[in-house]
Amino acid sequence: MQISAVQTDVTLGDKAANLRQLTQTLTAEAQLGSRLIVFPECLLTGYCFESRDEAMQHAETIPGPSVQEIAEACRELNVFTVFGMLERCESDLFNVAVAVGPDGIVGTYRKTHLPFLGVDRFTTPGTQPYEVLELDGLRLGMLICYDGGFPEPVRALALAGADLVVLPTNWPPGAESMAEHAVCTRAMENNIYFAAVNRVGTERGFQFIGDSSICDPAGNFIQRVAGREAGIIRAEIDVSVARNKRIVRVPQKHIIDRMADRRPELYGPLCTPHSLPRPGRDE
């Protein structure tokens, strides 16, 4: 399956403009042969809201009007897409990634790790289990931005069978090491494809660094959009490579399998709840 990662600017609070850009890009990328087109975090809404009330004005239910319009475009083009938005669910506000395909909504993911930054100062942490979605033979996992700085969610998705994990993100300055090192590390340590799709532009004094990339299961960049300009990268995903966890470098002399060689009986402390204060929330 050919995928596209769309590094683009977003207009804060202008869902109509952002939605128009998304559907136009879907059409162009479908014509170039891509079946999955991935957009940044909070693509529909923007990110740097100053209050919960302001953000709530731009949030929607799922399903909702914007998702319905995107679903209609996916049906006409026979493509899948992943994009970021704000979800309103009763009194809760979630930062979500939505996967939509020709038959409608495939799945949603609510961001579980929240930095004290932008709209995430006001959103509710997701509590859904990490889920792998089936996209026409491709097993997809979704995370959002800060989630990529934690190895555990990616490992959970890999253990559940993901071939590809996508990370819609809004990386600001300070996240350069994430873009340069963590993306390929997450791919390599789980033998999966990994696509980090960042935005560019500025919002209320925050500039976004771009540096989107797609990595292969060996931990190598396949494609990158280096720098802070808009751009689109494409790559072929070979699920057989991601599913073959046993790597034979020298027959009978050098063989590794990062799933089979794990020692989960020693990892108990990783799942022990902690009482550390969360920056900006518990202090």
Query: Which amino acid, residue 12?
Result: L
Cα gap 19→9, rounded to integer Å = 12
To the query of whether residue 145 is one of the catalytic residues in this protein, the response is yes
Which one is catalytic: 87, 111, 184, 203?
111
Type and span of the H or E element at 73: helix 65-77
Q: Which of 145, 184, 203, 215 is catalytic?
A: 145
CATH number assigned to the domain comprising residue 134: 3.60.110.10
> What's the pLDDT at 283?
72
Domain assignment present for 216? yes
Q: Is the dihedral of CA 115, 121, 127, 130 positive or negative?
A: negative
The pairing of strands 36-38 and 2-7 is: parallel
For the chain, how many structural domains are there in total?
1
Q: Which of 29, 41, 60, 203 is catalytic?
A: 41
Residue 31 lies in a domain: yes
| Assessment of whether the complete model's pTM goes beyond 0.95 | yes
In a domain, 112, yes or no: yes
CB 148 within 8 A of CB 175: no
Residue 57 tokens read as: 């004005």
pLDDT mean by block of 10 residues, the chain; 283 residues:
98 97 98 98 98 97 97 98 97 97 98 97 96 97 98 98 98 96 97 98 95 98 93 98 96 96 95 92 81
How many CB atoms lie under 10 A from the CB of residue 70? 22
**pLDDT computed for residue 227 by the predictor:** 83
User: Per the domain annotation, does 283 fall within a domain?
Assistant: no
Q: Does residue 131 form part of some domain? A: yes
In a domain, 123, yes or no: yes
Judge whether 38 and 81 are in contact, CB under 8 Å: yes
pLDDT score at 281? 86
Contact 225, 212 (CB under 8 A): yes
Ramachandran bin of 206, using left for φ above 0, alpha for ψ from -120 to 50, beta for the remaining angles: beta
Helix axes 65-77, 15-31, angle to 10 degrees: 10
Distances (CA, A) of 258 to 108, 155, 184, 190, 247: 28, 10, 15, 7, 9
| Residue at 165: amino acid letter | V
Q: Decide if 111 is catalytic.
A: yes
- Give residue 140's domain range: 2-271
